[in-house]
Amino acid sequence: MPNDPDALDDDDEPRDEGRRRKFRELECPECSAVTPLDDGFGDGDDVLCCYCGMEFRVAVSEGGRLKLRES
Ligand SMILES: [Zn+2]
């Protein structure tokens, strides 16, 4: 059995990004302001609204839907 490091990425399915989806705009659930984040953010990241200063923990569902929870 070859020891191929690329084999560890076999859950990388290009047809659907799902939870691995990255977002570049935070739409704040508190104040509805949109904060552009050029570095992108995804599941498990913490993001800060530049308008009201609220911080949110990012969760991305299996279907690639963004959820924000106050952190
Ligand atoms: Zn806000």
Ligand 1 midpoint to CA 46 (Å): 14
Question: Is-contact 22 1, C-beta < 8 A?
Answer: no
Dmax (CA) for the chain in angstroms is 54
Place of tokens 């904060």: 35
Ligand 1 midpoint to CA 23 (Å): 16
pLDDT in tens, 24-52: 999 999 999 999 999 999 999 999 999 99
d(Cα 28, Cα 57) in Å, to the nearest integer? 12
pLDDT in tens, 48-62: 999 999 999 999 999
Ligand 1 midpoint to CA 4 (Å): 45
Domains and CATH numbers, the chain: 18-70 (2.20.28)
CB atoms < 10 A from the CB of 5, how many? 6
Ligand 1 midpoint to CA 56 (Å): 10
Tokens representing 56 are 């949110």
The pTM (predicted TM-score) of the whole model is: 0.73
